[in-house]
Amino acid sequence: MRAWTRRLLVPIMVTGLLATAACGSDEQPTGNEKITLNVALFGDFGFKPLYEEYSKAHPNITIKERISDYAAHHQSLISHLATGSGAADIEAVEIGYLSSFTATPNRFHNLLDLGAGSLESQWLPWKWQQGLSTDKKTLIGLGTDVGGMAMCYRTDLFKAAGLPTDREAVSKLWPTWDEYVATGKRYKAAAPKSYFMEASGNMFRAMVEQAPTGVYDDADKLIVDSNAAVKKAWDLTVDAIAADQSAKLAAWTPEWSAAFGKGTFATIVCPAWMTAYIETNAKDAAGKWDIAAVPGGAGSMGGSHLALPKQGKHAQAAYDLITWLTAPEQQKKIFKATGNFPSTPSLYTDPDLTGFSKPFFNNAPLGKIFTASAQAVQPQHQGPKQGDVFNTIGAGLGRIEQGKQSADDAWKQVLSDVAKLG
């Protein structure tokens, strides 16, 4: 996500659990006692205006936010839980790491004990289930957003390459990933000086996320070596690399950010949250970007939960804050401001959300597009080291792109490196 700082995709360049239980305090504020709640996030979740709103209604509460990048944030949380100190009152956990923590729920306050059980119907059923421990007795986090996928593309680059620019016509170019790569070959033949996609690893992950079963089976066994869907995604991604379709950009680097506005590449796998990065980094390209359907029809990439480590001193106050931050009205505000799409289905019939569009994306109906995408998601089991597995595979694809390994040798190393993850 951010190194992916907001949501986990699979960057081309990547940097490569838990020990004893941590004890915490159940101390709660009394009366008008002034307390501080620390919130640790990876990247900007768009919460700052909401903190101001919340603090006006709760003048005794001060909210302090600390932000780090994706990998550093989660590794720090793992370390803090293992050592018993340093965790924030509220910690964001991305789906790529969530199963690592639901497997050891004793390190977190059980949100069911704090009253969350009555809120279950607020979330998509699969989003709620993701926050539950293996035995389903502990809820460690409340869902923020979901990463329903689409495909963002540059209309000006498509036009120059002789491809259609209307979003419905573009969607028809690639009902499957094979046809997406075939379209990329057409694009490269007509526009050899630019690239069809920004990073091949994101295509790979999108394909795997759409499969009924991904890199883990339902028993948390790694199946990278035996799942035909994973190997098919690898082989097709290698085909795209061989056709020089990828710009080989490492996410969140200055080069990656600049490429959105420069027209370096024509398409990017586009979970809802990605729209904010495009708009931020391509201010001079307003109206040139549009949004089409993702090949394969649906899928979710990314999405997070807010969890309360037991180290936190004010569990009830922290719980009250995260229930407010993740309530439908707040999720809708965040979507309209940042693009992070709500995980609360009561909004999916709200005209204020479904009718939302942005001139920047050629007036694409973002609310309609991402509502349909979220509703079509077939949830996939996420294993305990999901993020590490995708990073390992992404590193293998990067070695191919950099000319450091053949595809066969990279695949062999990937399988060896994944096996070491256990």
Residue 17 lies in a domain: no
pLDDT category at 8 given cuts 50, 70, 90 is: very low
> At 50, is the pLDDT very low, low, confident or very high (cuts 50, 70, 90)?
very high
Average pLDDT over residues 261-281: 94
In a domain, 1, yes or no: no
Place of tokens 């289905």: 345
CA distances (Å), origin 154, targets 41, 242, 365: 31, 22, 16
Please report the DSSP string for 279-292 in residue order. Answer: HHH-GGGTTTEEEE
Residue 251: predicted pLDDT: 81
Is the entire prediction scored with pTM above 0.75?
yes
Asked if the structure places residue 341 within a domain, the reply is: yes
More confident residue, 403 or 3: 403
Q: Are residues 392 and 262 part of one domain?
A: yes
Burial class (CB in 10 A: 0-12, 13-18, 19+), 403: exposed
Is 158 inside a domain boundary? yes
**Is position 263 within any domain?**
yes
Answer yes or no: is 13 within a domain: no
Cα 402 from Cα 250, distance rounded (Å): 12
202 and 125: one domain? no
pLDDT level of residue 387 (50, 70, 90 thresholds): confident
In this structure, the number of other CB atoms found within 10 A of the CB of residue 76 comes to 18
User: Checking phi first, is residue 225 left (phi over 0); if not, alpha (psi -120 to 50) or beta?
Assistant: alpha
Contact 10, 391 (CB under 8 A): yes
Domains in the chain: how many in total? 2
Take residue 103 and report the two structure tokens written for it: 């497997």
* Same-domain pairing of 283 and 306: no
In a domain, 20, yes or no: no
Residue 37 CA to residue 44 CA, distance in Å, equals 17
Q: 10 Å Cβ neighbour count for 154?
A: 24
Beta strands in 121-279 (DSSP E): 141-154, 195-197, 265-271
> What is the full DSSP assignment across 120-143?
GGGS-HHHHHHTB-TTSS-B-EEE
Q: Are residues 362 and 385 in the same domain?
A: no
The CATH number of residue 353's host domain is 3.40.190.10
pLDDT value at 346 more than 50: yes
Write the DSSP symbol of residue 147: E
Query: Is residue 361 located within the same domain as residue 387?
Result: no
> Based on the domain organization, do 215 and 331 belong to the same domain?
no
The total of other beta-carbon atoms located within 10 Å of residue 288's CB is 20
Q: What is each CA distance from 295 to 79, 171, 174, 201, 235, in whole angstroms?
A: 38, 8, 5, 15, 16
Over residues 73-94, mean pLDDT: 96
Same domain, yes or no: 398 and 262: yes
Average of per-residue pLDDT across 199-218: 95
- The angle that helices 177-190 and 200-210 make with each other, rounded to 10 degrees, is 160
Domain limits at 330?
35-147+301-373
Encoded tokens for 372: 């349909």
Task: Say yes or no: 362 and 390 in one domain.
Answer: no
Q: Is the pLDDT of residue 407 over 50?
A: yes
Q: Does some domain include residue 70?
A: yes
CA 356 to each of CA 297, 363, 364, 365, 414: distance values in angstroms, whole numbers, following the listed order: 21, 9, 9, 6, 42
> How large is the angle between the packed helices 228-242 and 386-401, nearest 10 degrees?
30
Residue 71 has pLDDT above 90, yes or no: no
Using 50, 70 and 90 to split pLDDT, how confident is the model at 15? Answer: very low
Q: Are residues 390 and 264 in the same domain?
A: yes
Q: Taking residues 78-94, report their average pLDDT.
A: 97
For the residues 96-122, what does the mean pLDDT come to? 95
Lowest average pLDDT, out of 120-129, 178-187, 377-386, 393-402, goes to: 377-386
The mean per-residue pLDDT over the stretch 269-280 comes to 94
Q: Kindly state whether residues 363 and 224 are assigned to the same domain.
A: no
| Residue the block writes with tokens 């056709």 | 243
Tokens for 193, please give them.
Answer: 């000086």
What was the pLDDT predicted at 31?
57
Stretch 62-87: mean pLDDT, rounded?
95
**9 pLDDT exceeds 90?**
no
Mean pLDDT of the chain: 91
Predicted local confidence at residue 23, as pLDDT: 39
103 and 58 within one domain: yes
Let me know whether 237 and 273 are in one domain.
yes
Residue 180 pLDDT class (50, 70, 90 cuts): very high
pLDDT exceeds cutoff 60 at 27: no
> How much is the average pLDDT of 230-256?
94
Q: Which of 173-177, 236-240, 250-254 has the lowest mean pLDDT?
A: 250-254
Fill in the DSSP letter of residue 118: G
Q: Which range (25-34, 104-113, 138-147, 300-309) has the least confidence? A: 25-34
- Joined together, the tokens standing for residue 255 give 């080069």
